[in-house]
A = this chain, B = another copy of it.
Amino acid sequence: MVILALAGAAAFGNVFPITIAIVFLLAILTFSYQQTIHAYPGGGGAYIVSRDNLGEIPAQVAGASLLMDYVLTVAVSVSSGVAQIVSAYPGLVPFRVGIAVGLVILIMVINLRGVKESGKAFALPTYFFLVMVFVTLGLGFFKMVTGSLGTVVDPPQDMVVQLAQPLTLFLILRAFASGTTALTGVEAISNGITAFKKPASKNAGVTLIWMAVILGTSLLGISYMSQYIRALPSEQETVISQLARTVYDNRGILYLAMISSTTVILVMAANTAFADFPRLSAIQATDGFLPRQLAYRGSRLVYSRGIMALTAIACLLIVYFDASVTRLIPLYAIGVFLSFTLSQTGMARRWWKSGHLEPGTEIKERGSTLVHDPRWNYKMIVNSIGAVMTAVVTVIFAITKFHDGAYVVIIIIPILVVIFLMIRRHYVSVAKALSLDKYGAQPRNQRHRVILLISGVHRGSLAGLRYARNLSDDITAVHVSIDPDEAARIEKKWETWGDGIRLVILDSPYRTFLEPLLEYIEDLDDRRQPNEVITVVVPQFVSRKFWTNVLHSRTAESLRKILLNRSEVVVTEVPYQVD
């Protein structure tokens, strides 16, 4: 339903004929996506369909477009939501960038805390919004029929500027279709298909049709009525707001209900991007085109990083584009239609392959199983029409909106694709280097030399010694000394407690710590035998309180960073707890 509101925010006044074209596009897309859903019961977003049917580079183009659009979804939806708020409270106009950034951060915090089963929490506002739309439209039509519906009183003052740009019409077309398919509407169902009850494909298909019908009806209704009341696109007041206050004659409780439900639905649309972004990243990471850590998307730490990155980029966009939906929309268009085109083309290609299969045989692809389909001809045509239509829209947007920001997208998508391919190439080369083909059995290490680092003679260093004892019998204790008196005391105490282990004192006249130690280790490393491994054992004081941990250096971490490039040198931290 989000698209409706998006459209409202994107401003669509007297464009009823265009709206009919959009609804037609919506219908075609619905049909073609129906076919995708049935072919890919495991979930078939543009990325998966392109990957399985068109190959590596088209798939990465689709991936880049979608990832970018998730970021833009956050920026656009939140900006639209804020546009609703400032329509109701014009005094807030100067703060809209701040409000938008605040909302994005709020959504981030909610997502960082983890929202499981957030789908249910979303149902209520969605229904409330739907009810409000139909109440508004119903009352509006009633008034229209009885002749009591006037035009917008005191319309926004900046509408003329908007009308001077005929391209805005195209922009709306795009806003609609993109909203429809990429994120919360058609495309979201495709990607999230496994969330449906069995039989998943069928239920998802039914949902899709229902959504399209509700969407089409509301869209036509709002569009027609907006034209009737002469609502005009504006940066200051959304069309939804103009419509609502005309239908309800004032800014009363029903007006506020309409506006607030629209706002909530828009902010929730941003929230879906927070779920979709890691989901797609995980698929791309599993395929090796994104850092592999992202494949474990449940892993709290990584997930957080992704969400924070998404938030940061979205906030940057909002600030840069001044939370203006009109200015953000052009960026949003191309990616969405590009991924549509790829998805539809992939499906068309799939039907063609399916038609040329021997009946009875099947080919197992990564995302689905390909079997002969007797109606492949018809299905191929449906998807081809979809592909051509969306391709035409993509090209139109790339050309007409080039200077309005679309060039950014046209630059970024290839860059992202190159990065994805480089990541993939890295993983392939590492896998090759690590491969066990032509790998002879290696000798077991003969010697294990242990260096125990001590800061003094206390329970912590004895815990380290006990651990070192388990590793090897060849242990050397090492102390870096900045104070000769202290060193003498340690040597004396070590005689009692050192269990016969040799102690080496490294003098540090310049009061450095790591440098003498590294010199010692590197010296050992250089003259070690073949097949000798060195382990540096570092006793580490650990406190449950954060601030006291700051008071104890993490020597092992610093050492490890420096020694990471030496093979067969291992740094081990032995924690000891005091409190």
Interface positions of A (Cβ within 8 A of B): 282, 286, 291-293, 295-302, 423, 426-427, 430-431, 433-436, 439, 442, 444-445, 448, 457-460, 462, 466-467, 469-472, 482-483, 493, 497, 508, 510-515, 533, 535, 540-542, 544, 548, 550-553, 558, 560, 563-567, 569-579
Contacts and interface: CB of A to CB of B under 8 A. Distances in A.
Given A448-B470, A467-B533, A564-B542, A302 B553 contact: yes
Given A291-B553, A435-B458, 14 more contacts: A282-B511, A286-B483, A291-B552, A292-B551, A295-B511, A298-B513, A299-B514, A302-B553, A423-B551, A434-B458, A436-B493, A470-B471, A471-B471, A567-B575
B445 A292 contact: no
> Sorted from nearest, which 5 A-B pairs have the closest CB atoms?
A298-B512, A434-B458, A296-B513, A293-B553, A448-B470
Given A430-B578, A533-B470, A548-B426, A298 B510 contact: yes
A474 to B, nearest CB: 11
A296 B511 contact: yes
Given A296-B511, A471-B470, A573 B570 contact: yes
Contacts of A483: 286
A552 B292 contact: yes
Given A298-B515, A564-B575, A442 B466 contact: yes
A450 to B, nearest CB: 10
Grouping DSSP codes into helix (H, G, I), strand (E, B) and loop, the A interface class, with mixed when no group exceeds half, is mixed
A114 to B, nearest CB: 12
Contacts of A431: 458
Contact of A299 (B292, B300, B302, B512): B512
5 contacts: A296-B513, A430-B548, A435-B458, A544-B565, A570-B575
B301 A541 contact: no
Residue in A427, A434, A544, A569 with the greatest tally of chain B CB atoms within 10 Å: A434
A558 to B, nearest CB: 6
Copies in the complex: 2
Contacts of A471: 448, 470-471
Contacts of A296: 482, 508, 511-513
A116 B49 CA distance: 62
B300 A514 contact: yes
Contact of A570 (B297, B300, B493, B574): B574
Residue in A286, A444, A564, A569 with the greatest tally of chain B CB atoms within 10 Å: A564
Given A436-B457, A445-B470, A544-B565, A573 B571 contact: yes
A296 B508 CA distance: 9
Contacts of A579: 433
Given A430-B541, A533-B467, A497 B436 contact: yes
B460 A434 contact: yes
A442 to B, nearest CB: 7
B291 A550 contact: yes
A530 to B, nearest CB: 14
B460 A445 contact: no
A294 to B, nearest CB: 9
Contacts of A444: 466, 469-470
A575 to B, nearest CB: 5
A366 to B, nearest CB: 11
A463 to B, nearest CB: 8
Nearest to A282: B511
Contacts of A300: 512, 514
A572 B575 contact: no
Nearest to A460: B434
Nearest to A301: B558
A445 B457 contact: no
A433 B579 CA distance: 8
Contacts of A433: 459, 578-579
A551 B445 contact: no
Nearest to A444: B469
A551 B266 CA distance: 34
Nearest to A578: B433
Contacts of A291: 550-553
